[in-house]
Amino acid sequence: MGSVYLRGNVYWIKYYRQGKCYRESSDSTKKMVAKKLLSRREGEIAQGKVPGVQFEKVLFEDLAEAFLRDYRINQKKSLVKAERSVNHLMKIFERVSVPQITTPRINKFIEYRLDEGASNATVNRELSALKRMLNLGAQQTPPLVDRVPHISMLEENNVRTGFFEHDEFLALRSCMPEYLKGFVTFGYKSGWRVSEITGLKWSNVYLEKRVVCLEIGTTKNKEGRTIYLDDELLAIFDIQRKLQKIGGQIVPYVFPNRNGDGKIKVFRRSWVSACKKAGIPNKIFHDLRRTAVRNMVRSGIPERVAMMISGHKTRSVFERYNIVSEEDLMMAARKQEKYLENQMGTITGTVTDLPIKKASSETH
């Protein structure tokens, strides 16, 4: 059983859990306040819960470190983004204890970030990081978090609309430096992420089988992937292999840098310059990924197969990438018009063939 005692002018409580003694200030000069706090703590212990005072010792920094440690242990590729989210959260939650991470304080963080000019999508990623921290803390033994507060996510418009029409892509490729032409062609046809293409090695290529593989764990979604090379891509890979052999240097990367001695790291200047020359400014490399998915769907490839080729894990990409274009809408209008014309012909023929019946005056 616990007890209440005076320490100066403030009442304190003392209680036990699993043989360990806990002392806690009621922060009040009224004995009744201390008794109520003691009753609450004894109720928590009776239910097998950790006394609330333990959670007050846990700070946001402790949760953040556990969160980043989880990223490091599991070798997640988005560690840098996670660290960036933590740095922004720190501006509001630094030295804040777990019980003080409440919905009103979280809303204060949202207002702060929006005032800084952060987009809804960016704020949502940071809120997701905070939610993950709290859930990780609640799952530990003993727990660091007693309850996860409600976190309202912001509405965001994540529809992606950047695409290349085929003539635009051909114009872009013609303006690219020679060492990047095969690189962008592979991106246009495969829909792979830029990091996956720059990191593609000859050890993942089997030209005799026309197959390119990515090993499990090397992609963003941790899943392996295999695609088959069409005639154009096969020719590009053959040229890349021959060029590297002629140069006398053995480079492990299929698409090496301008000097041919290492991995492509930065090509933004070449990309922007080529886009301007081709008359299609403001395009980004990721537009090739969206275009590849759209082209595969338009060509009749099942969505599941298209996802396996491009490396998308969930079908939501087809909503986010706004696959439907003006051309698709025009085609849909023509198909509907033709269907309705056929229906009108059918209805007209049916009405002509039907015998006319006189209305009966009898009441049934």
Give me the residue spans of the domains in the chain.
3-49, 60-139, 166-320
Contacts of 46 (CB under 8 A, 6+ apart): none
Neighbour order of strands in the sheet with 10-17:
3-7, 10-17, 20-25
Q: Would you state the pLDDT for residue 139?
A: 92
Question: Which of 96-105, 158-167, 319-328 has the lowest average pLDDT?
Answer: 319-328
* pLDDT value of residue 354: 46
pLDDT at site 323: 58
Which band of pLDDT confidence, cut at 50, 70 and 90, is reported for residue 50?
A: low
Q: What is the pLDDT of residues 79-88, one digit of tens each?
A: 999 999 999 9
Q: Report how far apart the first and last C-alpha atoms of the chain are (Å, whole number).
A: 86
Which residues have CB under 8 Å from 153's CB, separation 6+? 124, 127, 128
Q: Compute CA 255 distance to the chain's CA centroid, rounded to the nearest angstrom.
A: 27
Least confident of 3-12, 153-162, 190-199, 344-353: 344-353
| CATH number 1.10.443.10 given to 166-320 | yes
pLDDT digits (tens, 9 = 90+) for 151-171: 999 987 655 568 899 999 999
Does the predicted model carry a pTM greater than 0.75? no
Spatial distance between the Cα atoms of 118 and 88, rounded to a whole number of angstroms: 11
Which of the pair, 150 or 300, is modelled with greater confidence?
150
3-state secondary structure of 80: helix
pLDDT score recorded for residue 329: 65
Q: Lowest-pLDDT range, 9-18, 124-133, 138-147, 303-312?
A: 303-312
Mean pLDDT value of segment 119-139: 94
**Cβ atoms of 200 and 240 closer than 8 Å:** no
Asked if residue 217 lies in contact with residue 199, where contact means CB atoms within 8 angstroms, the answer is: no
* pLDDT at position 160: 59
pLDDT at 99: 87
- Does pLDDT of 103 surpass 80? yes
Nearest to 124 by CA among 109, 138, 142, 102: 109
Beta strands 20-25; 205-206: pairing state: unpaired
Residue 61 above 70 pLDDT?
Answer: yes
What percent of the chain is predicted at pLDDT more than 70? 83
Separation between Cα atoms, residue 219 and residue 121, nearest integer Å: 23
Average pLDDT, the chain: 84
Instruction: Return the SS3 of 277.
Output: helix
Alpha-carbon distance of 108 to 93, in angstroms, equals 10
Cross-strand bridge partners of residue 5: 12
Write down the pLDDT at residue 305.
83
Q: How far apart are CA 289 and CA 294, in angstroms?
A: 9
Better-scored residue on pLDDT, 353 or 78: 78
